[in-house]
Chain A
């Protein structure tokens, strides 16, 4: 009884700020306002989603998020591995962990807009990158207003969310498991592929979800680095929502996006589970 009452504030919070908004969005998505002030049920908002341009922005979003996740993984996994390895060795030697992880956490305390503005100072024509390349006599790199810049911004913004879960899984791997593999004659590559990688899969999966889903819906990075040259689905939703009569369509697109997010989360969980079963053998 005592414990249950403790959860009430959380329950009220969740109802007010998670459940209620979802219900409002649901209502908006299935209705349309008319001139006489009446609200009617309709599916038209969902039909509008399948507009050629909306579908295109949707697939663009998936593509950009996918590339970003892949880059985050390729950069993040080695980083997490090195950090975890260092920290584990130090703990084993009875020393304190390095605290290097803080370097990845600290940027998360900074305001996103501030960070993006500083990237603008680097990437803009006449910016730092320009002076650097011209100093070395190299050709100008102008990636501003391209997908490359958007991916760069996304990776920069979300890479801590890839490193942290992988790190926390890697650091918990029992060293004796690795030693056992080594004793049985596995070379370092084999140890990594057969032992470390499978054991770190839960971290990878949660890293994927934590990067992929926010990246899918982000719109400010595109606004900053895309130069308004293309729209991702987040921008489409934002555009519609800034419009009095656009909220219905905006809501229906949000719902479709949410369903897609649930689906991908479910798939990743399934993937995670089947792997856990595998690792029993």
Chain B
């Protein structure tokens, strides 16, 4: 169903882009580049209705890496992009992101203060957080009778052949690091070695290392345990009430998708206007409802029903205790290649 909807959306977008060229006028063109299915379908036209002199050209990408490549190639003068934390850090490092003028983005103050100041943008100069979430364990309550509160359960012989892991070296190594009691961003060779050993030890228990297929397979009861991101967990639980999501007590990954303006932008003021619009509580709420992820916009969250607001899976208490255990992935070129080498040794 979701696929069909997104298909129709893509079609509409392409059609609207084509139309926009047909009716070429003196309007300012604003190039918005977002992940697929990551905005309420009406929001763009609402923005255009409020800003009649701006025409939004909306394009979508599959992954941060695709976006990075396209923006770097300067193929199109994108004005607003939606990078994840580590990609934002990398692009800031490469000098590809503009500093924002927050006078143009008064609604940025609606963003939860807890969501600010993370390592990818320590002084909140470059980005406005859009969605956020955690990485954790999705499990089937019918197959897992015990309490899930530790990464150790993924190393439990009982669940041999019943565990889905991600096919992503960074995420998997960081889980193993956390399990061994180290930082998820550790660059220490001895600690990485220990994580590698743990992953090799776990390999015989794992049913498969994959990506998006995990969601469907978990909904169909294909396995007992899986690694997922909180937004996907919420989607899966909606489809199959036997599923539940847990963030291990050792701590896990905390991720953010942000809005930013790349240096290729030729309409920075309009781009900031768009980011401001997206940060308006009513619009942020529309988007969060449609996407199903947790919004970083506190005012928007306040507008939700009690049962959503208090849903500890979608909106965990951002207590100091919690934040201390959670880690945001940081960008480190040299470490990335170490991770690749570890991963080829684990899988190869």
State A239–B208 Cα separation when bound (angstroms). Answer: 17
**Docked-complex contact B344 and A54, CB < 8 angstroms:** yes
Q: Chain B's interface: helix, strand, loop or mixed, by majority?
A: helix
**A236 within 8 Å of B (CB atoms):** yes
**B210 within 8 Å of A (CB atoms):** yes
Please give me the residue from chain B that is nearest to A228 by CB atom.
B209
Q: Which of A10-18, A80-88, A118-126 contacts B (4 or more CB under 8 A)?
A: A118-126
A236-B208 contact in complex given A245-B333, A245-B336, C-beta closer than 8 Å: no
**A57 within 8 Å of B (CB atoms):** yes
**A36 within 8 Å of B (CB atoms):** no
State A103–B221 Cα separation when bound (angstroms). Answer: 37
- Give residues 229-249 of A contacting B (CB, 8 Å): 229-231, 236, 239-240, 242-246
In this complex, how many residues of chain B approach chain A with their Cβ under 8 Å: the count is: 25
Q: Given the complex, which residues of A lie within 8 Å of B220, measured CB to CB? A: 125-126
Please give me the residue from chain B that is nearest to A127 by CB atom.
B220
**A214 within 8 Å of B (CB atoms):** no
- Give residues 204-249 of B contacting A (CB, 8 Å): 206-210, 213, 217, 220-222
**A56 within 8 Å of B (CB atoms):** yes
**Docked-complex contact B209 and A227, CB < 8 angstroms:** yes
State A243–B167 Cα separation when bound (angstroms). Answer: 15
Q: What's the A-B contact tally at a CB cutoff of 8 Å? A: 65
State A206–B340 Cα separation when bound (angstroms). Answer: 36
- Give residues 320-348 of B contacting A (CB, 8 Å): 333-334, 336-337, 340, 343-345, 347-348
**Docked-complex contact B334 and A245, CB < 8 angstroms:** yes
Please give me the residue from chain B that is nearest to A58 by CB atom.
B348
**Docked-complex contact B345 and A53, CB < 8 angstroms:** yes
Partner of A120, one of B165, B213, B221, B347: B213
**B37 within 8 Å of A (CB atoms):** no
A239-B337 contact in complex given A125-B217, A230-B347, C-beta closer than 8 Å: no
Q: Given the complex, which residues of A lie within 8 Å of B208, measured CB to CB? A: 144-145, 227-229
Binary contact track A203-245/B, C-beta < 8 Å → 1, others 0? 0000000000000000000010001111100001001101111
**Docked-complex contact A126 and B344, CB < 8 angstroms:** no
**B298 within 8 Å of A (CB atoms):** no
**Docked-complex contact B210 and A245, CB < 8 angstroms:** no
State A13–B167 Cα separation when bound (angstroms). Answer: 36
A125-B348 contact in complex given A240-B340, A246-B340, C-beta closer than 8 Å: no
Q: A238: shortest Cβ distance to chain B, in Å?
A: 10
Q: Given the complex, which residues of B lie within 8 Å of A242, measured CB to CB? A: 65, 340
Partner of B348, one of A126, A145, A230, A244: A230
**B169 within 8 Å of A (CB atoms):** yes
A236-B348 contact in complex given A125-B217, A227-B207, A227-B208, C-beta closer than 8 Å: yes
Please give me the residue from chain B that is nearest to A249 by CB atom.
B337
Please give me the residue from chain B that is nearest to A117 by CB atom.
B213
Partner of A246, one of B167, B207, B217, B337: B337
Binary contact track A140-158/B, C-beta < 8 Å → 1, others 0? 0000110000000000000
State A229–B163 Cα separation when bound (angstroms). Answer: 12
Q: Given the complex, which residues of A lie within 8 Å of B206, measured CB to CB? A: 229
**Docked-complex contact A223 and B213, CB < 8 angstroms:** no
State A228–B333 Cα separation when bound (angstroms). Answer: 24
State A73–B74 Cα separation when bound (angstroms). Answer: 47
Q: B215: shortest Cβ distance to chain A, in Å?
A: 13
Q: Given the complex, which residues of A lie within 8 Å of B340, measured CB to CB? A: 239-240, 242-243, 246
**Docked-complex contact A231 and B65, CB < 8 angstroms:** no
Q: Given the complex, which residues of A lie within 8 Å of B333, measured CB to CB? A: 244-245
- Give residues 52-110 of A contacting B (CB, 8 Å): 53-54, 56-57
10 further A-B pairs in the complex, CB-CB below 8 A; given A54-B344, A125-B220, A230-B348: A53-B344, A125-B222, A126-B221, A126-B222, A227-B209, A239-B169, A239-B340, A242-B340, A245-B333, A246-B340
* 21 A-B pairs in the complex with CB atoms less than 8 angstroms apart: A53-B344, A53-B345, A54-B348, A56-B348, A57-B344, A57-B348, A125-B222, A144-B208, A227-B207, A228-B210, A228-B347, A229-B206, A230-B347, A231-B344, A239-B169, A239-B344, A242-B340, A245-B333, A246-B336, A246-B337, A246-B340
Enumerate chain B interface residues (CB-CB to A < 8 A): 65, 165, 167, 169, 203, 206-210, 213, 217, 220-222, 333-334, 336-337, 340, 343-345, 347-348
